[in-house]
Amino acid sequence: MSYTLSELISYFGGLMGIILSIVTLTTSKKTKAIKYSLGSFLIVWSIVVLFGTLIYSGKVIYLIHLFRLDSPIHYLMGPTVYFLTLSTLKPEFRFKRIHLLHLLPFLINFIEFLPYYFNTTDFKLSNYKNLITHGSVIMPLHYFLKTSSLFVYFVAQLFLFKKYQVKKLQHNKSNQYQVSWFILYFGSQFILTFSSLFDHFSGLHLFGDPYRFIIKMTAFLLYCIMIGLLFFPSLLYGNTVVEKEIKEKYSHSKLTNTEKETILNDLNTFMKGENKPFLSEKIAMAEIAKIIKVSTQQISQVVNEKTNGNFNDFVNSFRIEEAKFMLQSNTYSKLTIDAIAQKSGFRSKSAFYVAFKKHTGNTPKEFIATSEKIIPTPFDI
């Protein structure tokens, strides 16, 4: 069995993508959203390349039951690049159940092909050979729908970039490398999407076999992303613009790192005191500054730099630990979640739910469902 150079390149890219996806999903250093988004992207696009190469090369006749299995997966290509962009630009992004709606085109197409998947081997072989005789295995309607889906998700990514990143990058030289990354990322998508659209306008004759063309273009984009990640691996950890802006904001501060650590330790000690000051809804930075004998500006700087959050986030982190303690403890099992929110120092139910989701990644109910009923000590005091 012989292989052309383009086949070997595509197979190699697909296999490397699968291997990289495994490495990504089993690595714990990245944020969950980015890890799952990148892993999903690599798996989906690699499968499309591997299956597509088998099909256009004709070697799928030896594994004929794989024919058309890639069709529903094509509808996942747009969502995976979109969520990779979103999770990279917005590190606090978390997946929600409503995002499952992006799977609908995939599910609809899968159900549509179920009768074909359960058909006989002879039928599939005959169908494949008949399509090849007529020039391509492409299904014009689905090809158009898949191209349209990629176009919509591509435009959505451009809006995300404009919303979360572009203005900050223009004023932050230290993050200019991200511009290069997104030029590569969006540029390769642009070539794939718009060349496919032009192919439709030509009556699917512009690039010869449209199926072979789209698979080669998919392999091209997959290679671009994998090569790009080699040069910009820090993108796997999300947008670092916030950290850079904090450093620039306090660039004139005279606080040494030792002094910052001391202030942070004093803040933690104060918060973990027997009176648990964070339980008060009226806790104020000015009062704490007087007690630990520093300025409010210094507290703000230390909290911003050391926790990558603001003072309110810092206080809420202690409140959430207290709430987690009560949610897990049998002692407070008769209290409602709203009552626990109030006892933890939150002014409103909505503020509690937002903070709890932000700090734990789960809702209070989800936390209860996945936690054992124990009586932990929220702070070592």
What pLDDT was estimated at residue 241? 45
Of 352, 362, 258, 356, the residue nearest 306 (C-alpha): 258
Q: Which of 225, 229, 147 is closest to 185 using CA atoms?
A: 225
User: How many Å from the N-terminal Cα to the C-terminal Cα in the chain?
Assistant: 71
Please tell me the predicted confidence (pLDDT) of residue 171: 44
What integer pLDDT is reported at residue 42 of this predicted model?
93
Q: Following DSSP, what letter does each residue of 305-351 receive, concatenated?
A: HHHSS-HHHHHHHHHHHHHHHHHH-GGGTTS-HHHHHHHTT-S-HHH
Q: Are 307 and 358 in contact (CB under 8 A)?
A: no
* Structure token digits, residue 131: 């399509």
Cα distance between residue 311 and residue 277, in whole Å: 14
CA dist 206 and 195 (Å) reads: 9
CATH number of 250-370: 1.10.10.60
Q: Which CATH class is domain 5-243?
A: mainly alpha
| Residues in the chain, total | 381
Domain extents in the chain:
5-243, 250-370
Classified as helix, coil or strand, 97 is: helix
Residue 28: predicted pLDDT:
52
Mean pLDDT by 10 residues, the chain (381 residues): 88 93 75 84 95 93 93 95 88 84 96 95 94 87 93 94 63 57 87 89 80 91 84 59 56 81 90 87 87 89 82 90 88 88 87 85 84 54 39
Type and span of the H or E element at 206? none
What pLDDT score does 83 carry? Answer: 94
Amino acid at 72: P
Q: Do 35 and 59 meet the contact criterion of CB atoms below 8 Å apart?
A: no
Report d(CA 75, CA 144) in Å as an integer: 11
Sign of the Cα torsion 54, 57, 62, 64 reads: positive
Residues 6+ apart with CB under 8 A from 219: 9, 10, 13, 14, 49, 53
